[in-house]
Structure 1
Amino acid sequence: MSAAKKIKIGVLTSGGDAQGMNAAVRAIVRTGITEGCEVYAIYEGYEGLIRGGDFIRKMDWDSVGGILHRGGTAIGTARSPGFRTREGLRQSVANLLIHGIDRLVVIGGDGSLRGAQEFREEWPGLLKELVEAGQLSKSVAARHPHLGIVGLVGSIDNDFSGTDMTIGADSALHRITEALDAITSTAASHQRTFVIEVMGRHCGYLALMGAIAGSADWVFIPENPPEDDDWPERMCEAMRAGRASGRRDSLIILAEGSRDRAGNAITADFIKHLIEERLGEDTRVTILGHVQRGGAPSAFDRWMSTLMGYTAARELIQAKPERDSQVIGIRENRVTMTPLLQCVAETRTVAEAIKAQEYERAMSLRGGSFTEAFRTLRTLVQSRPPQAGTAPRPLRLAILHAGGPAPGMNTAVRVAVRLGIDHGHTMLGVRHGFQGLIDGDVHEMDWMSVSGWATTGGAELGTNRKIPRGPEIYQLARRLEEFDINGILMIGGWTGYDICYKLHSERYNYPAFNIPMICLPATINNNLPGSELSIGSDTALNNIVDAIDRIKQSAVASRRCFVVEVMGRGCGYLALMSGLASGAERVYLPEEGVTLNDMQKDIDEMSYWFQHGKRLSLVIRNEKSNPIYTTSFMCSLFEEEGADLFEVRQSILGHLQQGGSPSPFDRIQATRLAVRCIDFLIDRALQGSADSAFIGYQDGRVQIIDLEEFPRRVDAEHARPKQQWWMDLRDLTRVLNQPPRELTD
């Protein structure tokens, strides 16, 4: 590409900062450089556009090194009243064209993106005014007749149409959940009620999802105020009933923009005084404030923002500047592009519906998953242990695990037990999986037996990977008859799916297996069919990324290559996504395998870049990527070939990937799927149906799939699904993490 025709791209962050903005900026800069463009960072948002000079800086590959894991925005953001003036807009155009920039990526919220669209619309007129004033030549104006705009939504509130998740929302939810977990322990110690205020002036996403993840007793959101005037009494009654059933802590989550149906603000202090006056309980208020914006981005915000930044840069490079402005979003883990004007209009419509007190419309505009989440939470907070005999035909439903432990398993059990009891059925817990069922290790679970389980990692019921064979199949059938079990919920991984399919296939030989069964995907490996993400995989990914952050801090002190081994068995999800989220230069996957030639090429690359000043190289290896070329073998090979140029260390992360409290996503997903599973079992059992299925979140909705489909959807030899959406992202690690050699040649 000749210098005269070289595309020049600007990138700025505007409005409130959000975790993940740095990952997007990094991806935009490096994608542009790889494609032969010049990329400029505009510091301090729109204010930097007006000021120009050193506020607009050309970026090189290393300019964005080391920012992937940092919170906030490395290029700054600021409020800019001047950008709303004609003079400010003219000066912005002049400053951009000094560098020949006529394509812009804007990362910000609703106001920032509306400002970008208005700037684009005014561009031709501004050019004309600058030419008439003698501040711009006609030839320069003629070369840049249009301003190309692409928007990325950076907002922790998750309040913008055109994307399922905005940059920073997942990380903010992490901060909220961490705070709720910490508050719960002190609240339980004193039998206190805590009122927690979270951000969200016009959007209740953080409050709603935080309430689900933190097992709150009540939630207030702008989109759906309390439906009647006696809501204070209903809320207090819920708190009172919780205490009566043995709960020592109470949590009420409040979005900062919450109001009642008359439009009056509902404040944290109002709720506090209400609880104290009506219940006489010691009540505390915690306003989380800007802590929700702080800290390192979650794994999701890193890889999602990286993917969106990469797509934004390529869109600006490939599309003509006169094309309508686009918003890069994400739906169902895939990148989407939607016209900016459409997104702005839809976002405004939600705010207008809330202002007009059209709450049903506001909820519907937020989307089906938002409405479903609110309905699920309302069911959970209203559920109370019913009186005996409330169900027309009480059922006995068993819950068990199979496969390795996964964070979020306990969350799913808690929801399933309490919903089942609420419907008037008997819930049976089976310890230690199918072997426990064979051994008769079955016990009835009551309301309080799952207290505190929502936030606990591991598997309180226990689990194992043993597959029943021969006479053990007969023993399973006998136990089902002995305990009069009418349905089975299996929460687990590949082993559990395999066993349930085996029992399903044996129905004609053993009549006891003619009961409904459903499999809920819970495994950190994310290797199950029918669901894009399994319970536990998000927590594991965050654990890996946290560990790699520490490894990189250690390694950068000297010239060092780290080979990090992660779990996953025959599925490369954890390796690939952690590589994308951590900035690894190379990822070895079982789907692709590893050859000696691959490793030799990687050694050559490492040596080249260490010779040119690199201090750290990060390689991530799936545990099953090659049975011969193990992590130890790779380290020895790299060490030998690296000689005195660099050191090599290995880090086998092991079971820390399975440990810890479940992430907000895993808690929310476990809740959503457990509700559907219990509904399925009750419906089928009452109908006398023996349907068996597995459940998952796919194509933007929860799907229940006939268990007969299991063998047709999997690569049984490698224990992974045939369709793996993440494999489409495998080339990104090299594009964004390995600079082109011509940058130094």
Structure 2
Amino acid sequence: MTVRIGVLTSGGDAQGMNAAVRAVVRTALAADAEVYGILEGWQGAVDGGDYIRPLGWDDVSGITALGGTVIGTARCAAFRTAEGRRTAVAHLIEKGIDRLIVIGGDGSLTGTDALRAEWPDHVAALLASGAITPEQAERHHSLVIAGLVGSIDNDMVGTDMTIGTDSALHRIVEAIDAIASTAASHQRSFVVEVMGRHCGYLALMAAIAGGADYVFIPEQPPSADWHAHMASVLRRARNAGRRTSIVVVAEGAADADGNPITAEHVRAVLSDEMGEDARVTILGHVQRGGTPSAYDRWMASMIGHAAVEQVLGDASEAQVVGVRANRPHAQPLVEAVAATRNIATLIAEKRFDEAMAARGHSFVQMHAAFRRLSEARTAVETPDPDKRVAIMHVGGLAPGMNAAAKALVRLGVDHGFTMLGVQGGFPGLIAGDVRELRWGDVEGWTSTGGANLGTRRWIPGEEELYGLARSVETLGIDGIVIVGGFNAYRALTLLQEEKKRYPSLNIPTVVLPASIDNNLPGLQMAIGADTALNVAVQAVDRIKLSASAAKRAFVVETMGRHCGFLALATGVAGGAERVYLNEDGLSIGALAADIDAMVAAFSGGQSFWLAIRNEEASAFYTTDLLTRMFEAEGHGLYSVRGVVLGHVQQGGTPSPFDRINGVRLAAAVTDWMNEKLATGEGIQAFATPDGIRPVKELDDLVDWEVRRPLEQWWLVLKPVLAALGHRPGSDVANT
């Protein structure tokens, strides 16, 4: 008998659940398994009948862009009883299901694991009552499960992110951006309440990405004098020229004695004790709604694919499949849930430092970074000797450059540096186009696209080095932070080589990575890559809608040069059948096979077919050539259009992740700069999430010829795309 897998979504909904369902269905079908959707969560298992139905390839077409969950979710009181669970077992066995993938929160996953433990007893009881046959009892003697965490709170220990969190953060930050613009018009204060009963992730990250002044989270209650401290922080910012004050409050925030700190409470403090014109915005369920972000689509697809491999493998223990460093990560479900629930216990027992640590190093790091930004001095008496640090951009534009520059300026001022903005990269530095940047000069930069300091790809050659060195000396620059892409790393190696000839270049110089291509060494995501990916995926969504009235194929070209990140991640998140990468190359044989698959798909009733092409996938098989070739071989069965997304991918408002990433890296860079200026070390280095690394390590990390890192973590998405793009009955898979 063919293996049958059940998939259900349970508990609260979360954006990205549909991408996970699609991945489960198509991965299972590619492995010759059958998939049954259990509608309305565990209620559907208890009710049985048509609530448990087979899901085919076409049943999950076009659902990745939808919020919520297309198979429904519900709270089920009956499932909390032994009788209700036994009924669910009977209905699952009736359908031949003994493998389950459950997408939900810790409550849903705990209930599923309890069912797994009870399963043999229920089977024995059902057999004794005659509800199932001996053959069914023998065939379905145990239940194999895998869990995927669908929770916008990001509250599961052991996974970097949970399905829905990034999308919820997008909703919150969009709202804060909108609130900030109206607040600035009237010089008002706003208190924004976000979800997070026991977890402050959304509140903390939204405060960082939204440029808020203050935040309250459950894991770290404020000090007893928080009224006065908050007033001090907000007044200092106002005195420095800020026209708004924004405070973010997690719904579960409380003081050290467990007394709730509500949004209304904070508003009253702002109004009564500070005289602020303060308003409250409670975002509520808008955080759960809307189109899933690109990350929630490709990440959910990746772990959905991994979950099927788990239940088809030797999984004697229930596993929850999450993500670590953008790769699937499985851990025992019982341990993950216990560790997650223990945080609420730690908070209740006032062991707040332990609660923070249990959230992980990144959470602690970002909380410290926010405190530093929030409490940073707006001006510092110039120390002796004065340390002058320049910020410049080198390389292509990357959304989030402004957020990084703002953080660098404010943290640098707090360190006592004089911060200098170089206009237009190295040409601007050589020409002396440099101005001091004060705390108030970068107000509002967090949410703006583009690069307010300008950027150039140009790096100095042999003949320009003297002018560069002279300008650095004349301007009295003691350190340089270069925010940029691959050319910034090239420049870094040049400065390392030439600093012996030009002593003024023997100063601390560090690159902070920013590139939509995501082709930079030593990190998972460069600043700008997430925004570019979201722009590309949103474009694909619109393209699909444009094709809804006709049989049409599209070839969409993304940026990326010789790096396939944008193309591959867009393909997985956007639901492409094929992705063409520079890393793989293109051949006429592969294209012929793809044409056969395309013709077969349209002949079988498919109405849309999507190929994503990296701009440098092939020098010969261009987007235009592929478009004409695909249409010619269709012989009128379908039409084909080519779309080159172009520089739209460099535009737009930076995503929450790109803003947060900029702050994280800026905090590390300013600390490093402070240390090197104190010791007088003229070191060239580059920033990574794991620390600042010396330039000499670049050769071990980079393929200079093709301008990409030797380790490309995103290639883990290739088998995911292959499984999700392989239509049953086709002999052609996406390789």
Shorter-chain TM band: over 0.9
1:349 is matched by which residue type in structure 2? N
Residue 345 (structure 1) aligned with residue 341 (structure 2): no
Residue 482 (structure 1) aligned with residue 474 (structure 2): yes
For residue 136 of structure 1, report the CA deviation from its aligned partner.
2.3
1:729 is matched by which residue type in structure 2? L
SS in 1 for 2:196: coil
Partner in structure 1 of residue 514 of structure 2: 522
Partner in structure 2 of residue 301 of structure 1: 296
Partner in structure 1 of residue 311 of structure 2: 316
Residue 151 (structure 1) aligned with residue 143 (structure 2): no
Partner in structure 2 of residue 283 of structure 1: 278
For residue 36 of structure 1, report the CA deviation from its aligned partner.
1.1
Residue 59 (structure 1) aligned with residue 55 (structure 2): yes
Residue 709 (structure 1) aligned with residue 704 (structure 2): no
SS in 2 for 1:197: strand
Residue 395 (structure 1) aligned with residue 387 (structure 2): yes
1:21 is matched by which residue type in structure 2? M
SS in 2 for 1:126: helix
Distance 2:341 2:230 in 1: 31
Distance 2:96 2:112 in 1: 18
Distance 2:31 2:350 in 1: 49
Distance 1:511 1:180 in 2: 47
Cα distance per residue 1:595-625 (max 9 Å; x no partner)? 2222222111111111111111111111111
Partner in structure 2 of residue 160 of structure 1: 156
Partner in structure 1 of residue 368 of structure 2: 375
What pairs up with 1:471-550 in 2 under 5 angstroms? 471-550=463-542
1:105 is matched by which residue type in structure 2? I
Distance 1:128 1:610 in 2: 48
Cα distance per residue 1:615-640 (max 9 Å; x no partner)? 11111111111112111111121222
1:123 is matched by which residue type in structure 2? W
Residue 329 (structure 1) aligned with residue 322 (structure 2): yes
Structure 2: gaps of 5 or more residues = none
SS in 2 for 1:561: strand
Distance 2:548 2:731 in 1: 22
Partner in structure 1 of residue 176 of structure 2: 180
Partner in structure 1 of residue 726 of structure 2: 738
1:10 to 2, 6, 14: 6
Distance 1:609 1:531 in 2: 38
1:54 is matched by which residue type in structure 2? D
For residue 325 of structure 1, report the CA deviation from its aligned partner.
0.3
Distance 1:626 1:737 in 2: 21
SS in 2 for 1:157: coil
Partner in structure 2 of residue 457 of structure 1: 449
Partner in structure 2 of residue 599 of structure 1: 591
**More displaced 10-residue stretch of structure 1: 205-214 or 308-317:** 308-317
For residue 742 of structure 1, report the CA deviation from its aligned partner.
5.6
Structure 1: gaps of 5 or more residues = none
Is the CA contact 1:397–1:485 (under 8 Å) kept in the aligned structure 2? yes
2:289 is matched by which residue type in structure 1? G
SS in 2 for 1:453: coil
For residue 743 of structure 1, report the CA deviation from its aligned partner.
10
Residue 101 (structure 1) aligned with residue 97 (structure 2): yes
Distance 1:722 1:121 in 2: 45
Identity of matched residues, %: 52
Cα distance per residue 1:147-177 (max 9 Å; x no partner)? 1111000000000112110000010000001
SS in 2 for 1:741: coil
Partner in structure 2 of residue 722 of structure 1: 710
Partner in structure 1 of residue 419 of structure 2: 427
Partner in structure 1 of residue 377 of structure 2: 384
Is the CA contact 1:530–1:694 (under 8 Å) kept in the aligned structure 2? no
**More displaced 10-residue stretch of structure 1: 378-387 or 340-349:** 378-387
Residue 684 (structure 1) aligned with residue 676 (structure 2): yes
For residue 664 of structure 1, report the CA deviation from its aligned partner.
0.5
2:271 is matched by which residue type in structure 1? E
Is the CA contact 1:393–1:686 (under 8 Å) kept in the aligned structure 2? no
Cα distance per residue 1:463-513 (max 9 Å; x no partner)? 111121122111100011101111110000111111121011111111111
Pair 40,441 (structure 1): closer, same or farther in 2 beyond 3 Å: same
TM-score by length of 1: 0.97
Is the CA contact 2:193–2:251 (under 8 Å) kept in the aligned structure 1? yes
Kindly tell me the number of residue pairs found equivalent between the two proteins.
732
Distance 1:713 1:223 in 2: 38
Distance 2:294 2:652 in 1: 15
**More displaced 10-residue stretch of structure 1: 391-400 or 605-614:** 391-400
Distance 2:26 2:353 in 1: 44
For residue 676 of structure 1, report the CA deviation from its aligned partner.
0.6
1:706 is matched by which residue type in structure 2? P
Pair 742,454 (structure 1): closer, same or farther in 2 beyond 3 Å: closer
1:206 to 202, 207, 217: 202
Distance 1:343 1:450 in 2: 42
Cα distance per residue 1:381-426 (max 9 Å; x no partner)? 111223413x464311010000111011001110111111111110
Partner in structure 2 of residue 256 of structure 1: 251
Partner in structure 2 of residue 50 of structure 1: 46
Is the CA contact 2:48–2:88 (under 8 Å) kept in the aligned structure 1? yes
Pair 387,734 (structure 1): closer, same or farther in 2 beyond 3 Å: closer
Distance 1:477 1:398 in 2: 14
SS in 1 for 2:610: strand
Partner in structure 2 of residue 240 of structure 1: 235
Residue 583 (structure 1) aligned with residue 578 (structure 2): no
Partner in structure 1 of residue 555 of structure 2: 563
Distance 2:241 2:459 in 1: 38
1:704 is matched by which residue type in structure 2? I
For residue 692 of structure 1, report the CA deviation from its aligned partner.
1.2
Distance 2:152 2:350 in 1: 24
Partner in structure 2 of residue 417 of structure 1: 409
Distance 2:620 2:27 in 1: 35
Distance 1:69 1:546 in 2: 9
**More displaced 10-residue stretch of structure 1: 194-203 or 344-353:** 344-353
Distance 2:606 2:453 in 1: 48
2:499 is matched by which residue type in structure 1? R
Partner in structure 1 of residue 605 of structure 2: 613
Distance 1:743 1:33 in 2: 13
1:246 is matched by which residue type in structure 2? G
Is the CA contact 1:594–1:625 (under 8 Å) kept in the aligned structure 2? yes
**More displaced 10-residue stretch of structure 1: 729-738 or 655-664:** 729-738
SS in 2 for 1:509: coil
